């Protein structure tokens, strides 16, 4: 293939350790091990996409088999071995994609092939990409060969080089037999200089701001950055420079200054202008999820701007935007920013279940303005009702019962501790109050009030220890719903007008209602199986089985 017709990610793929960027420590370690003749049986390279795992694997193969040796390794004029490895045509260097060859039979063929020594080079090398895709049996088949690879008459041996993006899926027995290298994301400054040099080689006219946007989107992946640069170069008109605005349209990103202006208007509560700015952003082709993620990033910068500097921004903000955020930060409290962060995360999850995400974002921005308004006022009832739409706070306390010398976990909802009052300081009339005197009566009330979930928990997972006025003690049960105690306390307060203590005890309580019913059912079935009627039935239908018994009513 003509080199000029290749995509940039292949055209400028590093061919030796000197061209590699962002992984200098790994390169130095490997070079030193080869010079000291302490080459491991297997290398394992892991990291995100596009940071050089397969590229380094090929470079290692060249370094081991270069006819000039590691000290004079080929750079420009390639030897036969290096050229063949570059073209993926070397007879002794086999590259395998584990995504397409996952079975144990494929690995057995590999092991069988390893019995024969290298033809034209010192080492026989197997490069397995996406190695985590191999089956469990395939990994087990590799273990013995990994630990004790064959040695050949020429003094060389067999080397494995694995590459993966998901290290956790590889058995620890395999990882422990490899020399593992974790490839890091390429730093923004280094990646920026790299793609800028390539832009100049390709004679492209792209502004530095547009290149910084490419660096940001690529998230430390060299391949992603080169693919985006390729796309940008292809979209260029002759004699016209690609600026930031054009790049944002091409990649579906928008100017962060718009988002900062929108954030400032939210803090001021200017609803109409907020919606107008968002609609302009949406019309630029920005997806709601991209917008909400960028908004989340902006909240982080507002909260931590005083502890950051321009070098740590990963090219997200320019100098003007950085200064503007620093100025606005003085107008907003940390409490508000933390609430914004929590609520934005919640909205990000909500986008998965709504049809029209654009409308959800508009409502999200409107609710943020009400949230900001509520957070800045004292704990008046009207404002608390607004805040409670977005957050609920529970207090958990541990109480030691000295009389019974046992630890009881008691959970109280904060609303139990507050008396809701109107302006004349009189309690609000909540209607007729109920008198709950027993556990059975509590179940009956739940049924009448249509509290089906609460009734289910009471019947299924509650083992009663003690029941008295305004206090219920139950055994600790892992199966209880995490909100059960809070929900039951609130309902009892609503129904009776009194605060109830729901305590979790170490004492073993009664069987739950469902367990009692289950035991009674088993007892009835066993009793019925002893009856003459059932025995006569089995004589006529030997395969019959009794699965339930309905007790006879008095009127039957």
CATH of the domain at 322: 1.20.272.10
Is there a domain that residue 523 lies in?
A: no
Length of the chain: 556
- Distance of alpha carbon 389 from alpha carbon 399, whole angstroms: 30
Q: What is the pTM of this model?
A: 0.58
Selected residue with higher pLDDT from 387 and 235? 235
Domain end among 166, 182, 198: 182
Q: Are residue 78 and residue 145 in the same domain, yes or no?
A: yes
User: Which of the residue ranges 63-72, 131-140, 313-322 has the most confident prediction, judged by mean pLDDT?
Assistant: 131-140
pLDDT of residue 406: 40
Mean pLDDT of 102-119: 85
Under DSSP, the state recorded for 377 is S
* pLDDT at position 443: 86
Total domain count for the chain?
4
Q: What pLDDT digit, counting tens, does each position of 420-432 carry?
A: 333 333 333 445 6
Calculate what percentage of the chain has a pLDDT beyond 70.
84
Q: What is the CATH number of the domain that holds 203?
A: 1.10.8.60
> Are 59 and 174 members of one domain?
yes
Q: Give the CA distances from residue 501 to residues 88, 441, 451, 505, 506, in Å, rounded to whole numbers and listed in that order.
A: 73, 17, 19, 12, 16
Q: Which pLDDT value is given to residue 436?
A: 85
Question: Would you say residue 537 lies in a domain?
Answer: no
φ/ψ bin of 220: left (φ > 0), alpha (ψ from -120 to 50), beta (otherwise): left
What's the pLDDT score for residue 103?
85
Show the domain range for 376: 256-387
Q: Partners of 409 in the beta sheet?
A: 398, 504
Does pLDDT of 385 surpass 70? no
Cα-Cα end-to-end distance for the chain: 91
In this structure, the dihedral spanned by the alpha carbons of residues 202, 206, 210 and 215, taken in order and rounded to 10 degrees, is 20
Express as a percent the part of the chain with pLDDT over 90: 15
Main-chain phi, psi angles of 471, to 5 degrees: -150, 130
pLDDT band at 399 (very low <50, low <70, confident <90, very high): very low
12 & 113 share domain: yes
Do 134 and 224 reside in the same domain of the chain? no
Beta bridge partners of 96: 128
Whether residue 524 lies inside any domain: the answer is no
Grade residue 150 by pLDDT with cuts at 50, 70 and 90.
confident
Most confident of 70-79, 133-142, 347-356: 133-142
Is residue 542 in a domain?
Answer: no
| Each residue's pLDDT tens digit, 201-220 | 888 888 888 898 888 888 88
The arithmetic mean of pLDDT across residues 4-21, rounded, is 86
pLDDT average, residue stretch 322-338: 84
For the chain, the average pLDDT equals: 80
Residues 98 and 131 grouped into a single domain: yes
Q: Are residues 352 and 377 in the same domain?
A: yes
What's 74's domain CATH number? 3.40.50.300
Is residue 171 helix, strand or coil? coil
The reply to whether 403 and 370 lie within a common domain is: no
In this prediction, residue 553 has a pLDDT band, given cuts at 50, 70 and 90, of: low
Residue 230 inside a domain? The answer is yes
Q: DSSP 3-state assignment of 199? A: helix
Q: What is the pLDDT, as a whole number, of residue 54? A: 92
One domain for residues 165 and 293: no
Contact 225, 218 (CB under 8 A): yes
126 CB neighbour count, 10 Å cutoff? 24
pLDDT value for 4? 62
């Amino acid at each position: 293939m003509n080199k000029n017709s290749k995509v940039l990610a292949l055209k400028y793929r590093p061919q030796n350790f000197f061209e590699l960027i962002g992984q200098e420590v790994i390169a130095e370690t490997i070079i030193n091990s080869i010079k000291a003749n302490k080459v491991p049986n297997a290398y394992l390279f892991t990291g995100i996409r596009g940071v050089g795992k397969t590229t380094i694997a090929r470079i290692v193969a060249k370094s081991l088999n270069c006819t000039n040796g590691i000290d004079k390794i080929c750079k420009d004029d390639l030897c036969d071995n290096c050229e063949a490895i570059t073209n993926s045509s070397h007879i002794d260097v086999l590259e395998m994609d584990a995504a397409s060859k996952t079975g144990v039979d494929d690995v057995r063929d590999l092991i069988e092939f390893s019995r024969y020594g290298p033809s034209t080079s010192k080492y026989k090398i197997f490069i397995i990409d996406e190695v985590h895709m191999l089956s469990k049996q395939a990994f087990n088949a590799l273990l013995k060969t990994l630990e004790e690879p064959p040695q050949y008459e020429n003094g060389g041996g067999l080397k494995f080089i694995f590459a993966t993006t998901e290290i956790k899926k590889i058995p620890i027995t395999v990882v422990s037999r490899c020399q593992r290298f974790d490839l890091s994301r390429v730093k923004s400054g280094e990646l920026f200089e790299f793609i800028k040099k390539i832009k100049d080689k390709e004679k492209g006219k792209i502004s530095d701001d547009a290149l910084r946007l490419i660096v940001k989107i690529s998230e430390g992946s060299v391949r992603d950055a080169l693919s985006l640069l390729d796309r940008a170069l292809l979209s260029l008109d002759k004699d016209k420079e690609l600026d930031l605005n054009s790049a944002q349209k091409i990649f579906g990103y928008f100017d962060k200054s718009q988002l900062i202006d929108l954030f400032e208007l939210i803090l001021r509560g200017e609803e109409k202008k907020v919606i107008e700015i968002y609609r302009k952003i949406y019309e630029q082709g920005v997806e709601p999820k991209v917008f909400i993620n960028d908004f989340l990033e902006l909240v982080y910068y507002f909260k931590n701007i005083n502890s950051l500097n321009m070098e740590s921004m990963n090219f997200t903000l320019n100098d003007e935007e950085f200064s503007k955020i620093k100025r606005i930060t003085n107008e907003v409290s940390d409490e508000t920013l933390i609430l914004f962060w929590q609520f934005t995360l919640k909205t990000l999850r909500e986008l998965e279940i709504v049809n029209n995400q654009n409308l959800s974002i508009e409502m999200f921005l409107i609710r943020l303005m009400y949230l900001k308004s509520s957070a800045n006022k004292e704990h008046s009832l009207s404002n608390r009702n607004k805040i409670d739409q977005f957050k609920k706070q529970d207090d958990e306390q541990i109480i030691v019962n000295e009389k019974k010398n046992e630890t009881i976990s008691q959970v109280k909802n904060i609303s139990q501790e507050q008396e809701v009052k109107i302006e004349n300081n009189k309690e609000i009339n909540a209607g007729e109050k109920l008198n709950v005197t027993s556990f059975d009566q509590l179940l009956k009330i739940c049924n009448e009030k249509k509290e089906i979930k609460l009734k289910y928990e009471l019947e299924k997972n509650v083992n009663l220890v003690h029941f008295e006025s305004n206090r219920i003690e139950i055994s600790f049960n892992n199966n209880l719903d995490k909100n059960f105690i809070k929900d039951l306390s609130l309902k009892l307060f609503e129904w009776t007008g009194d605060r109830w203590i729901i305590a979790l005890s170490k004492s073993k309580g009664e069987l739950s209602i469902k367990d009692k019913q289950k035991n009674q059912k088993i007892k009835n079935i066993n009793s019925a199986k002893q009856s003459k009627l059932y025995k006569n039935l089995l004589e006529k239908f030997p395969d019959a089985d009794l699965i339930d018994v309905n007790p006879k009513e008095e009127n039957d």
